[in-house]
Amino acid sequence: MSFGQGLPFDRIFEMIKEQMKKAGIELSEEEFARAMKELQNFSQNLGETPQSGFFSTRIEIGPDGIPKFQFGFSSDGDPQNVKAHMDAEGYIEPYVEVMNYKDSTIIVAELPDAVEDSLRITQKGDTLEIYAVSHFGEFRKAIDMSKLARRKMKSQSFKNNILEIKFV
């Protein structure tokens, strides 16, 4: 989704809200306020308050029904130059696919240009967290494992910027 130059954040979010409503998704005032705060945090992580350019917004509705916002920005206005989507804390959220099979679960994450030595995979309770560093910034993804079968990590590999983790 892209918007005109120099629009204030509240107008950008009103436009996002309108698009979501057309898609049958409505934000409560609390969710809207949280999303506005996340966008403000994102702009602070850019180190500037952008007045123009190309904003990209990705919204995911989690299993708990709460929308999660991610933002991308290109100061030159070219959508092709949005490097990645960042969460409110400034971490890049990589694309992750979770495949749950009868006897195993495989998690695949794309980590473009990630430094293998920086790769950390940690599991705390029902949350698996992937972290890595690249020249784009820091990748971080938390994966809720609570709905997956109770399995133990068997193997992991990192090749051609693709992380694969297998649970059995």
Where is average pLDDT lowest: 9-13, 54-58, 124-128?
54-58
CATH topology of domain 96-167: Immunoglobulin-like (2.60.40)
Considering the chain, tell me which residue range(s) the CATH 2.60.40.790 domain(s) occupy: 96-167
Helices (H), 4-91: 9-22, 29-46
Residue 94 confidence (pLDDT): 82
Res. 4: pLDDT tops 60: no
Residue range 114-133: mean pLDDT, rounded = 93
pLDDT in tens, 80-122: 555 556 666 778 888 888 998 888 999 999 888 889 999 999 9
Distance of CA 40 to the CA centre of its chain: 16
Residue 110 confidence (pLDDT): 87
Residue 167 confidence (pLDDT): 92
**Distance of CA 72 to CAs 6, 55, 56, 81, 87, Å?**
16, 6, 5, 9, 9
127: DSSP letter: E
- Mean of per-residue pLDDT scores for the chain: 76
> Residue 49: which pLDDT band, with cuts at 50, 70 and 90?
very low
pLDDT in tens, 61-85: 666 666 666 666 555 555 555 555 6
